[in-house]
């Protein structure tokens, strides 16, 4: 495998040290249930702020209120959280990015972009377990304290430089610091990975699936980098989850020492739950216009279940990307979608547009007519009729 610049030293360099510490690590023990902190403390301040955020989230237009889906995801989180289940509240948010988070007050968010990318229930458990890891090990508060300590020092430096006439001083330095990222440290991320896998094992999931999650993410990022020619360091996916390849390897290593490899991954259970939502989430995914990642995602989903709907979305990705050769790729993919069950009638509309652009007027008309017959009450009926008039 070709090394890419953004992997820096290379996963293997760091792995030896990591693997060493993993093998030596003791099994994770859940702490007792976390108590509400004194409101006057910094943790208390954070907690109450988050309580207000949670109240806002409850009213949010972006919250998914689907009963069965919420129940299902909460169920997985609960199994992982054990004694902490009563303190854990799960919210599903409509957003096409791969993200989940858990706040120090027990509020957990899972974004639809992440749900879309889960191949099975065990992978979902891996992500939720990782977030529970941050919560149980109290990483959030450590981070706040660390940030305050670092930035006070930084501002002092800024002021000192400013007074000496060097660079931006005072408020600009302050702003620069405020704008800096407060990412969880690498140590925090590794610890959460470890705890997550322990929680998976305890709840009856195969810990190796955690490694697969990151491997899949890495493949998406690599595909985007291959397409966009960018190191991908500024990808939203990448920014909040550094070094997915390294972590994938580390977690595979860890899983090998843990057992539980025969446990059921629960792929059918998850597929059933997501069935009614996937189309909307794929439409959101298309809108991101990150074709490299989207194509990698769709190809992975197709490997699990080759159906007309997924083929249609693959075709749409090519059509919207509109790079050299994409029109042909899209038309081929529409053809494959049509040969399978589950494709939406919009296939004919999209295909017609490409056929017209390719100069195949007869085929375009047929496709438009086909679409009209399947969606006689569509809100774009007049426009389609207009297209048909154009061609004649």
Partner 1 sequence: MSRSLLLLLVLFLSGCAAMAKIEPGEVKLGEAMTATPDSAWNRLAIGTPKNTEVWTSDGLPLDRLVFYVGIADGEPLAPLRERSDRQIPKFRAAMPAHEIVEMYEVFASYDGSTFQRGKLAPAQFASSEGFRFEFARVRKGDELDMRGVAYAAVRGGKLYMLVFEAARTHYYGKHLARAEAVARSVRIGR
Partner 2 sequence: MVFRCDVVLHAEPGTGYREEALGKLVKRSRTGLVCRFWLMAFFLCLPIAAAAQARLAEGFSRLPQGALVTLMPLDIELYSISAGGVVEPQAEWTAKAHANLWEAFLTRQSALEVNFKPLPDDADEVIQRLNRLHGAVGLAISGFDLPTKEGRLDWSLGDEAIAIRNQTGADYALFSYVRDSYASSERAAMMVLGALLGVGLQGGMQVGYASLVELSTGRIVWFNRLLRARGDLRELDKARESADALLAKFPE
Interface ranges with partner 2 (CB under 8 A): 39-40, 42, 44-50, 53, 56, 59, 93, 95, 97, 99, 101-105, 109, 111, 134, 140, 143-144, 147-148, 150-156, 159-160, 162-163, 169-171, 174-175, 177-179, 181-184, 236, 239-240
* Residue 98 C-beta: closest distance to partner 1, Å: 13
Rounded (10°) angle between helices 139-163 and 171-178: 150
Nearer to partner 2, 89 or 375 (CB): 89
DSSP letters, 312-335, are HHHHHHHHHH--TTHHHHHHHHHH
Question: Binding of partner 1 at residue 380 (CB under 8 A)?
Answer: yes
- Which of partner 2, partner 1, none interacts with 105 (beta carbon under 5 to 8 A by kind)? partner 2
Question: Binding of partner 1 at residue 179 (CB under 8 A)?
Answer: yes
- Which of partner 2, partner 1, none interacts with 320 (beta carbon under 5 to 8 A by kind)? partner 1
* Residue 174 C-beta: closest distance to partner 2, Å: 4
- Which of partner 2, partner 1, none interacts with 366 (beta carbon under 5 to 8 A by kind)? none
CA distance 8 to 208: 25
One of 60, 185, 304, 305 touching partner 1 (CB under 8 A): 60
* Residue 37 C-beta: closest distance to partner 2, Å: 9
Tokens 């490997």 correspond to what residue?
Answer: 303
Q: How is residue 352 written in tokens?
A: 């017609």
Cα Rg, the chain, nearest whole Å: 24
Looking from the CA of 23 toward its CB, the CA atoms found within 13 Å total: 7
Nearer to partner 2, 50 or 269 (CB): 50
- Interface with partner 1 in residues 247-306 (CB under 8 A): 287-291
CA 245 to chain centre: 15
340 and 307 in contact (C-beta within 8 Å)? Answer: yes
- Which of partner 1, partner 2, none interacts with 162 (beta carbon under 5 to 8 A by kind)? partner 2
Using left for φ > 0, alpha for ψ between -120 and 50, and beta otherwise, residue 2 falls in: beta
DSSP secondary-structure letter at 37? P
* Residue 277 C-beta: closest distance to partner 1, Å: 14
CA distance 235 to 225: 10
Binding mask 304-343 for partner 1 (x = CB under 8 A): ----------------xxx---------------------
CA distance 39 to 213: 38
Q: How is residue 338 written in tokens?
A: 């049509």
Binding mask 68-97 for partner 1 (x = CB under 8 A): --------------------------xx--
329 and 298 in contact (C-beta within 8 Å)? Answer: no
**Dihedral pair phi/psi, residue 92, rounded to 5°:** -100, 125
Question: Binding of partner 1 at residue 351 (CB under 8 A)?
Answer: no
Question: Which residues lie closer than 8 Å to 185 by C-beta, 6 or more apart?
Answer: 143, 146
One of 7, 137, 228, 374 touching partner 1 (CB under 8 A): 228
Question: Which residues lie closer than 8 Å to 188 by C-beta, 6 or more apart?
Answer: 134, 137, 139, 142, 143
Tokens 């470890």 correspond to what residue?
Answer: 194
Nearer to partner 1, 87 or 346 (CB): 346
Binding site for partner 1 (CB under 8 A): 60-62, 94-95, 168, 171-172, 175-176, 178-179, 224, 228-230, 232, 234-236, 287-291, 320-322, 349, 353, 356-357, 379-380, 382-383, 386-387
């Amino acid at each position: 495998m070709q090394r890419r610049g953004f992997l820096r030293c290379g996963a293997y360099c760091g792995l030896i040290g990591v693997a060493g510490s993993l093998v030596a690590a003791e099994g994770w023990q859940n702490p007792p249930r976390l108590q509400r902190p004194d409101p006057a403390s910094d943790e208390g301040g954070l907690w109450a702020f988050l309580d207000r955020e949670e109240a806002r989230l409850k009213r949010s237009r972006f919250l998914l209120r689907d009963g069965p889906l919420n129940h299902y995801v909460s169920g997985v989180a609960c199994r992982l959280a054990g004694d902490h289940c009563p303190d854990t509240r799960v919210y599903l948010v409509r957003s096409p990015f791969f993200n989940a988070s858990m706040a120090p007050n027990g509020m957990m968010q899972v974004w639809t972009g992440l749900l879309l990318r889960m191949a099975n229930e065990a992978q979902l458990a891996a992500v939720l377990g990782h977030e529970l890891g941050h919560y149980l090990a109290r990483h959030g508060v450590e981070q706040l304290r660390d940030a305050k300590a670092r930035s006070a020092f930084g501002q002092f430096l800024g002021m000192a430089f400013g007074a000496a006439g060097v660079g931006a001083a005072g408020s600009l330095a302050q702003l620069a610091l405020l704008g800096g990222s407060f990412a969880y440290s690498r140590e925090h991320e590794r610890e959460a990975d470890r705890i997550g896998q322990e929680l998976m094992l305890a709840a009856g999931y195969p810990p190796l699936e955690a490694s697969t999650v990151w491997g899949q993410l890495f493949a998406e990022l690599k595909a985007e980098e291959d397409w966009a020619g960018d190191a991908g360091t500024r990808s939203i996916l990448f920014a909040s989850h550094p070094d997915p390849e390294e972590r994938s390897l580390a977690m595979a290593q860890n899983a090998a020492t843990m057992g539980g490899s025969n446990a059921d991954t629960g792929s059918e259970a998850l597929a059933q739950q997501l069935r009614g939502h996937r189309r909307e989430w794929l439409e959101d995914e298309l809108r991101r216009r990150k074709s490299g990642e989207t194509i990698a995602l769709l190809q992975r989903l197709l490997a699990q279940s080759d159906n007309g709907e997924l083929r249609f979305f693959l075709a749409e990705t090519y059509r919207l990307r509109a790079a050299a050769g994409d029109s042909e790729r899209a038309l081929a993919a529409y053809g494959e979608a049509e040969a399978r069950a589950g494709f939406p009638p919009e296939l004919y509309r999209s295909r017609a547009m490409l056929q017209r652009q390719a100069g195949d007027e007869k085929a375009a008309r047929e496709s438009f007519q086909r679409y009209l017959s399947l969606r006689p009450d569509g809100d774009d009926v007049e426009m389609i009729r207009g297209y048909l008039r154009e061609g004649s």
